[in-house]
Structure 1
Amino acid sequence: MRVIETATLTLEPQTVAHAEEMFVVLSDPAIYEYENEPPPSLEWLRARFTRLESRQSTDGQEQWLNWVIRLPRSELIGYVQATVRPNGRAAIAYELSSAYWGRGLARQAVQAMISELVEHYGVRSLGAVLKRENLRSLHLLERLGFSLALPEQRVKHQVELGELLMQREIQRK
């Protein structure tokens, strides 16, 4: 993994050294309106980040790519992540502190990650699962070229009721 630079953001490969600062970011209750919950403790988050530093699943079949998002003035504001499978498909996710919503930063960070996945990891198909009510995330994915998956894809990927599966196919150049 490498550092990814955009016009206004830096995506750094996530390490255990980021845990303390990310614990503050991930403790923002607004980001859990639709799913998940904050990390229970800093120690728990350190242990999770340590496991993720392997950059691969236990069986070695998937690459786990996680970047923290840093602003020019050095503060962390969230993360982007991808699980890359050998078939060129990646599942993506992202989270930003609510203080940074609505500024185009999520779009910039996710687009930078997608470009990295396509150019350096051979990704040709992307998917993201979100809660149906999470319109902010739905609109972000639509702006990035994702569309609603067909019902048979929802079944294939075991998407739960109340969730949407968004997909994007990458056109070869």
Structure 2
Amino acid sequence: MGVRSTCDAQVTSWPRAEALRTDRLSLEPLAVRHAREMVTALAPRDLYRFTGGEPPTSDELEARYRRQARGQSQDGRAGWLNWIIRPAGGGLAIGFVQATLTRRGVELVADLAWLVTVSEQGRGLAGEATLAVAAWLPSIGVRRLQAYVHQDHAVSARVAERLGLAPTSTLVDGEMLWEAITVL
């Protein structure tokens, strides 16, 4: 199903994100236009306590979203699905969920990440949004979910548990790999 690129790398056609809804949330497939409002959602420095880094500027976020909206890595070996989270009734963006797709043999694997802005935390929104994505992923053939969670980030560990993920012994840059075979 792959095609050859000009640099002779194997390229796969990856699925595209679809709009998703929960009772409280709307998840919109990422577009470059989301950068302006996400600059505000990503501005609180507390968001970077476990991941490091700095809040992005508008220009940095637009460039990042332009790359991510392509839906795959430059070499085509990873698919990128990204959603912007907002309240179901409308309003400003409050975070994101992303799933990076790769193949492990014949198995399609989704590496999940999530973030909800500081002012909206503590209401279960990250778990609700990520669970909606995890429930949708098997429809495109994903059979394994995983996430890297900082060892000290108890809230993200609870989101991972809610997804049915379990911690493994794999540790990368202070983040533990959590994984599960999907049974959704």
Same fold (TM over 0.5): yes
Q: Contact 1:39–1:45 (CA<8 Å) still a contact in 2?
A: no
Give the CA deviation at 1:140. 1.6
Give the CA deviation at 1:142. 1.1
Aligned partner letter, 1:96? V
CA distance in 2, matches of 1:84, 1:139: 22
CA distance in 2, matches of 1:113, 1:84: 13
Q: Contact 2:29–2:82 (CA<8 Å) still a contact in 1?
A: yes
Residue of structure 1 equivalent to 2:100: 83
TM-score by length of 2: 0.84
Identity of aligned residues (%): 35
Q: 2:143 aligns with which of 124, 127, 142?
A: 124
Report SS of the residue matched to 1:76: coil
Whether 2:147 is the aligned partner of 1:135: answer no
CA deviations on 1:36-75 (whole Å, 9 max, x unpaired) are: 3234411111011011110011111211000000112321
Aligned partner letter, 2:162? R
CA distance in 1, matches of 2:92, 2:174: 34
Q: How does 1:94-173 map to 2 (within 5 A)?
A: 94-119=114-139, 121-149=140-168, 151=169, 154=170, 159-160=171-172, 162-171=174-183
Q: Contact 2:99–2:110 (CA<8 Å) still a contact in 1?
A: yes
Aligned partner letter, 1:74? G
CA distance in 2, matches of 1:18, 1:123: 26
Which consecutive segments of 4 or more residues in structure 1 shift more than 3 A? none
RMSD: 1.4
CA distance in 2, matches of 1:171, 1:116: 12
Residue of structure 2 equivalent to 1:70: 86
Residue of structure 1 equivalent to 2:51: 35
Aligned partner letter, 1:138? A
Give the CA deviation at 1:8. 1.1
Which protein has the bigger helix share? 1
CA distance in 1, matches of 2:173, 2:91: 39
Which protein has the bigger strand share? 2
Q: Contact 1:69–1:77 (CA<8 Å) still a contact in 2?
A: yes
Q: Contact 1:26–1:38 (CA<8 Å) still a contact in 2?
A: no
